[in-house]
Amino acid sequence: MIGFPHQSGPTHTERDARVALLRVFREMSKRGLNAGTAGNASLRCGEGFLITPSGIPAEELDESDLVWLDFKGGCRGERKPSSEWRLHHDILAARPEVGSVMHAHSSSATALACHGLTIPAFHYMVLRFGGPDVRCAAYATYGTQALSDAVLQALQGRTACLMANHGMLVLGEDAPKAIAAAVEFETLCEHYWRAKLLGEPHLLTPAQLAEVEAQFAGYGQQQQ
């Protein structure tokens, strides 16, 4: 289990948020989800959100390098925010239940994205991300409004998507849940890639998926 500080949405302090986001971003590199300056991450904080800066490797970052943005165009920080700030802004503005956004260029997800593939119900764990499949957003140049619009469309009813010829994006309630979901999503992408090496995998039926959804309701350690 990843040892991040406990968070509870907008009530945590900015200091705690900076610590959590920096740990998550470094963990993305340690887990092999990103390399060099690729990828970015954000965390809702107060009336805005913190985001990683542009063009600096995770291991070279300090908490003070993270940039705070609000939803009205305000910016606070000494660094230039990630070139994908618009994407994070639009998702967090449109999805109030989302506390953290992770974007990565992980190997398996990026391979599928470069083929523009939707991940179908080849395995019941696709349900982990909100529905019977995980969509691939249409290609658009990074950092543009067109890319943000395409990703928001692909994320309708979902908590993850592929980004054509680009990578992956995952949502979470907070930073620890987002990084855990990103690791899980990359694993699912690898499973699909490997399954397709043997041919087109068998897909689960809607009835079978509905049965799994019912099982999910009682999964894990339930409070008594």
Identify the pLDDT of residue 72: 86
pLDDT for 70 beyond 50: yes
75 vs 56: CA distance, rounded Å: 18
Which neighbouring-strand residues pair with 45?
48
Average pLDDT over residues 102-107: 96
Element (H, E) at 186: helix 175-197
Is residue 222 assigned to a domain?
Answer: no
Inter-residue contact 9 to 99 (CB < 8 Å) = yes
Please give the share of the chain, as a percent, with pLDDT higher than 70. 92
Is residue 9 assigned to a domain?
Answer: no
Average pLDDT over residues 93-114: 97
pLDDT for 9 beyond 60: no
Tell me whether strands 67-70 and 75-76 are parallel, antiparallel or unpaired.
Answer: antiparallel
Identify the pLDDT of residue 77: 85
Q: Residue 11: helix, strand or coil by DSSP?
A: coil
Identify the pLDDT of residue 223: 59
Q: Decide if 47 is catalytic.
A: no
For residue 219, name the pLDDT band (cuts at 50, 70, 90): low
Residue 186 sits in a domain of what CATH number?
3.40.225.10
Inter-residue contact 190 to 31 (CB < 8 Å) = no
Tell me whether strands 40-45 and 136-137 are parallel, antiparallel or unpaired.
Answer: unpaired
For residues 8, 10, 15 and 21, what is the CA-based torsion angle, rounded to 10 degrees? Answer: 70
Q: Which of 35-39, 168-172, 211-215 has the highest mean pLDDT?
A: 168-172
Full residue range of the structural domain in which residue 39 is found: 14-216
Among 176, 20, 29, 151, smallest CA distance to 92 is for 151
Identify the pLDDT of residue 7: 38
pTM: 0.89
For residue 41, name the pLDDT band (cuts at 50, 70, 90): very high
Identify the pLDDT of residue 56: 87
171 vs 194: CA distance, rounded Å: 25
Is residue 223 assigned to a domain?
Answer: no
Q: Residue 211: helix, strand or coil by DSSP?
A: helix
Is residue 131 assigned to a domain?
Answer: yes
Is residue 158 assigned to a domain?
Answer: yes
**35: which residues sit within 8 A by CB, 6+ positions away?**
29, 105
89 vs 91: CA distance, rounded Å: 6
Average pLDDT over residues 115-120: 98
Average pLDDT over residues 115-128: 97
Higher pLDDT, 58 or 18: 18
Is residue 5 assigned to a domain?
Answer: no
pLDDT for 38 beyond 80: yes
Q: Which residue among the candidates 63, 84, 190, 213 is catalytic per the annotation?
A: 84
**132: which residues sit within 8 A by CB, 6+ positions away?**
120, 121, 126, 206, 209
The mean pLDDT value of the chain amounts to 90
102 vs 44: CA distance, rounded Å: 12
Identify the pLDDT of residue 222: 55
Is residue 221 assigned to a domain?
Answer: no
Domain tally, the chain: 1
Is residue 202 assigned to a domain?
Answer: yes
Identify the pLDDT of residue 119: 98
